Amino acid sequence: MLTLLPPCARSRPSFPTCWQLLWRLPRTASAPLCVALATALRCPPSSAPRAPLTRRWSQAAETVEATGAGEICLLENLRFHKEEEKNEPGFCEALAEHADFYVNDAFGTAHRAHASTAGVAAHIDGAVSGFLLEKELKFLMGAVEVPERPFAAVVGGAKVSTKLPVLDSLLAKCDKIVIGGAMMFTFFKARGLPVGSSLVEEDQLEIATNLVQRAEEQGVKLVFPVDAIIAEESWKDDPAAYSGATETTPDESIPDGWMGLDIGPRCACVPPTPCMPLTRPRASPPAPR
């Protein structure tokens, strides 16, 4: 059976595209997914009775081949497979082999050069965007090209290296840039702050320092987190099995033996108008509370 997640900011905006695709199929084929979407949306389904939903990636090709006209085959999350993030050509071709159309409505991952976002589309002539992706692109084109002032951007993610083109572009357009996500620890270290065992791109430290300097020269205010959620260093070995403590730091400093995971709760309480200074006095690593 398909396990449903509660509706969230990432899944709910894609429902219009899903509904449009399902409504073009016979009621008997779309019924299970209509029920699934209706459950997630917490609204009554307007289709046929519930039917079982299975996930059989190990026999995906056979399952797809056995799917008749007007039927739906729902496969599991592709990120279970290492070929997905590597954008492995053979994997991309295998995904595209049985498809006539490809619809990408995942705006949050569309920038990734993965098999399901880039590779498979190159093998399908009928590759199009969904309604959410279209909406976001139209908004960004207008907001970035002719922004209303003051113009601020929030940039997150794990790696500075994957955000360099975006950051370079934003420096020329923004009045303020808010840095979050795990990439903040590379900036912390570049600014001389202790980061413990946090994820840091050592080869990007000079670039991060340069970005901070350029922002200051161009009058762009960089806003960094004022605290962080941290876990013991063993968290990185197996996050799913981690049973140790998580703490909140009193400031940006991450103590030895601990690693930063994300922004802390005080960040949500900081007024949006004032900006944090680019540098702060270096302090000794705090003891977790």
Write the pLDDT tens digit of every residue in 129-146: 888 888 888 887 777 777
Average pLDDT, the chain: 76
93 pLDDT above the threshold of 80: yes
pLDDT at 72: 72
Per residue, what are the HEC states of 161-225? HHHHHHHHHHHCCCCEEEECCCCHHHHHHHCCCCECCCCCCHHHHHHHHHHHHHHHHCCCEEECC
In this prediction, residues 12-33 reach a mean pLDDT of 57
Q: Are 169 and 244 found together in one domain?
A: yes
* Buried/exposed 41-62: b ≥16 CB within 10 Å, e otherwise: eeeebebeeeeeeeeeeeebee
- Dihedral, CA atoms, 172, 193, 223, 137, nearest 10 degrees? 60
Question: Per the structure, how many domains does the chain have?
Answer: 2
DSSP code string of 239-270: GGG--S-EEE-SSS-B-TTEEEEEE-GGGGGS
Domain identity same for 165 and 57: no
Answer yes or no: do 179 and 121 share one domain.
no
Q: Residue 146 has what pLDDT?
A: 79
In a domain, 278, yes or no: no
User: What's the average model confidence in pLDDT over 166-171?
Assistant: 87
> Does any domain span residue 114?
yes
**What does the pLDDT look like over 67-81, one tens digit per residue?**
777 777 766 677 778
Asked whether the bond before 150 is cis by omega within 30 degrees of 0, the reply is yes
Mean pLDDT of 55-75: 67
Tell whether 5 is covered by a domain.
no
CATH value at residue 130: 3.40.50.1260
For the record, the structure tokens of 109 come out as 């991952």
Question: What is the rounded CA–CA span in Å between residue 74 and residue 90?
Answer: 21
Give the residue numbers spanning the domain of 152.
147-269
| Residues near 240 by beta carbon (within 8 Å), at least 6 away in sequence | none
Give per-residue pLDDT as tens, 233-252.
898 888 878 888 899 999 99
